[in-house]
Amino acid sequence: MDNNQLEAYLKEKRLKINQKLEQILPIEEEPKIVHQAMRYSVFAGGKRIRPILAIIAYEISGGKGDAILMPACGLELIHTYSLIHDDLPCMDDDDYRRGRPTNHKIYGEAIAVLTGDALTALAFECFLGSSEAHDFSERAILRFVRRLTRAIGTKGLVGGQVMDIIQLSKDRKKESLEKTCQYKTGALIEASLECGALLAGADPRLLSALKHYGKGIGLAFQITDDILNVTGDKEVMGKSVHSDREHEKITFPELMGVEKSKKEALRCIEDAKVSLNDMGHRAWPLREIANYIVERKS
Amino acid sequence: MDNNQLEAYLKEKRLKINQKLEQILPIEEEPKIVHQAMRYSVFAGGKRIRPILAIIAYEISGGKGDAILMPACGLELIHTYSLIHDDLPCMDDDDYRRGRPTNHKIYGEAIAVLTGDALTALAFECFLGSSEAHDFSERAILRFVRRLTRAIGTKGLVGGQVMDIIQLSKDRKKESLEKTCQYKTGALIEASLECGALLAGADPRLLSALKHYGKGIGLAFQITDDILNVTGDKEVMGKSVHSDREHEKITFPELMGVEKSKKEALRCIEDAKVSLNDMGHRAWPLREIANYIVERKS
């Protein structure tokens, strides 16, 4: 397995996801400004990690066809909404994201808040599917959307951002920091894998293994993000570096240094990969993605 | 039918809704600040119109018992989230709501944005119910949540606030203003009635009549809100008056004067009440609520 093979695999998935997102996001409809702002941030060159993980989990669990694309795209909309709100002046106050001005720098704060709100609503439309036809059973959709909803509330995405802002981790304990990361980044990544598995009707053992994998790579992902904020190149990253230090945020590199943080991230992905042992060759993209998460430069 | 009878009826419903909201909203769990902020705005003395309408529509459609309370409370959480975001400095910049400082005045803008986001997630948890036991069929829940989701996106709640902010109605046409009101206020009120009816398995004719009623009172509600912003007493209202004029908003009283606006609101509720004709006595609370909407002082 080499990097080119993974790159080709991810590229193919990304293409399908982007085509579906093109269909999902309105263009010319009123009120145009918010639809333009939604598209501006969704098509800013994201890596589409969450929908890709959902699709892989779906396929590993025996799911067939493209029906997974719609709910998977919903995961990307949720991720994009959280970035737009996190970048707001009242939060992390970031001017750049993926090499372009952040949403509020272009559309103003009011529209940026509403764009996030609108993406959440549209995400749920993607999760729930149309009422006329849906490829999944009503039971599977409900299990999936319930799981997802828990992951984005105060015990997940929103809770993590709250803890990040109020620096619940200011007690400088590794456990508190891990919990913040788990809520802020891990919950949605874990849920993406679980959701793909749930929609394919995975058995509890496979579901649990994918969940464990998601937990590991989620933490590794956030640790690597924090490391890149210290060591990364602004040009390659397309966003501000050293902003965590400026905001006096407690992060892994701040708490234990860059080298130890790298080791911690590696430990997380090794742990994640162990949970793939029973899945054999079909889990190769998940193994490669785990490696990619800690090796990436942006 | 007198006002006391309606008041007693609404009070009883409100009590049940508030008890359920008490159960739904976490108190002591981490991160505490966001849970406190959620409670601050949810328990600020709202009239609970939307959940009450859902419950009435449910009962009129033959629904029994208290199972409707949980999804009905979700409607109030959505309404509260929209108020918190609308009050933000970057939007309507309101310092008071229901006689108390607005959420961001107490908790800061970052937490206010996240409180809104958290309420949305919690609302969907209420809509979807727990995975273990639910009183409604999976089909009914999905129809209900799909309907609701459309009502809060860019063709509903969020779209209306966008149009309000960018003043899509600056062409000063009554039709544009009506569309803004329909999105901003009407969509969620209409959806509340439809949702109650859908969960009770109402037939298409009843569903359509309740929808029509919702459309009428939704518009009347927003026109009356705008009139009160011109003629209301700040003490009674518990929020700023004359703010629409300060923000140079196009509203019904601004467009056609207070008297003509009152007539327009009355016309809307008369139209709404006509759609109740086939429902007989059981629709009495809806008739009285329609009257109350245009007669209220706050």
3-state SS assignment for residue B97 = strand
Inter-chain contact B121–A154, Cβ cutoff 8 Å? yes
Domains plus CATH for chain B? Answer: 3-295 (1.10.600.10)
Q: pLDDT tens-digit profile of B145-154?
A: 999 999 999 9
Q: Which of B26, B33, B143 is opposite residue A166, by nearest beta carbon?
A: B33
Inter-chain contact A118–B146, Cβ cutoff 8 Å? no
- Name which of A121, A93, A145, A129 is nearest A35 in CA terms: A121
Partners of A101 in beta bridges:
A96
Specify the amino acid at residue B99: G
**What pLDDT does B1 receive?**
56
Residue range A256-261: mean pLDDT, rounded = 94
**What pLDDT does B148 receive?**
97
**What pLDDT does A189 receive?**
97
| Helix or strand (DSSP H, E) at A256 | helix A252-256
Give the chain A residue whose CA is nearest to the CA of B145.
Answer: A128
Residues of A with CB below 8 A from B113's CB?
A: 85, 88, 90-91, 113
Cα distance between residue A147 and residue A170, in whole Å:
30
The C-alpha of B136 sits at a distance from chain A's nearest C-alpha, in angstroms, of 12
Asked whether the predicted pLDDT for residue B173 surpasses 80, the reply is: yes
Give the chain A residue whose CA is nearest to the CA of B183.
Answer: A31
Q: Which of B29, B125, B161 is opposite residue A149, by nearest beta carbon?
A: B125
Q: How confident is the model at residue B4 (pLDDT cuts 50, 70, 90)?
A: confident
Interface mutation target, options B154, B176, B177, chain A, most CBs of A under 10 Å: B154
Residue range A78-99: mean pLDDT, rounded = 95
**What pLDDT does A154 receive?**
98
**What pLDDT does B250 receive?**
84
Backbone angles phi, psi at B206, to 5 degrees: -65, -45
The C-alpha of B129 sits at a distance from chain A's nearest C-alpha, in angstroms, of 8
Interface mutation target, options A82, A124, A166, chain B, most CBs of B under 10 Å: A124
**What pLDDT does A174 receive?**
86
Residues of B with CB below 8 A from A35's CB?
A: 154
**What pLDDT does B172 receive?**
74
**What pLDDT does B34 receive?**
98
Residue range A214-230: mean pLDDT, rounded = 94
Q: Can you tell me the ipTM of this complex?
A: 0.95
The CA radius of gyration of chain B, in Å to the nearest whole number, is 18
**What pLDDT does B170 receive?**
65
Asked whether the predicted pLDDT for residue B235 surpasses 90, the reply is: no
Asked whether the predicted pLDDT for residue B243 surpasses 90, the reply is: no
pTM reported for the whole predicted model: 0.95
Cα distance between residue B114 and residue A189, in whole Å:
20
3-state SS assignment for residue A102 = coil
**What pLDDT does A6 receive?**
93
Q: pLDDT tens-digit profile of A154-165?
A: 999 999 999 999
Asked whether the predicted pLDDT for residue A1 surpasses 60, the reply is: no
Inter-chain contact B33–A154, Cβ cutoff 8 Å? no
Task: Locate B291 and state its tokens.
Answer: 């009257």
Q: What is the dihedral of CA B36, B149, A204, A179, to 10 degrees?
A: -30
Question: Peptide bond preceding B31: is omega within 30 degrees of 0, i.e. cis?
Answer: yes
Cα distance between residue B240 and residue B293, in whole Å:
19
Residue range A185-204: mean pLDDT, rounded = 96
**What pLDDT does B169 receive?**
52
Residues of A with CB below 8 A from B110's CB?
A: 88, 90-91, 165
Distance of CA A116 to the CA centre of its chain: 15
Give the chain A residue whose CA is nearest to the CA of B111.
Answer: A162
Partners of B97 in beta bridges:
B100
Inter-chain contact B33–A90, Cβ cutoff 8 Å? no
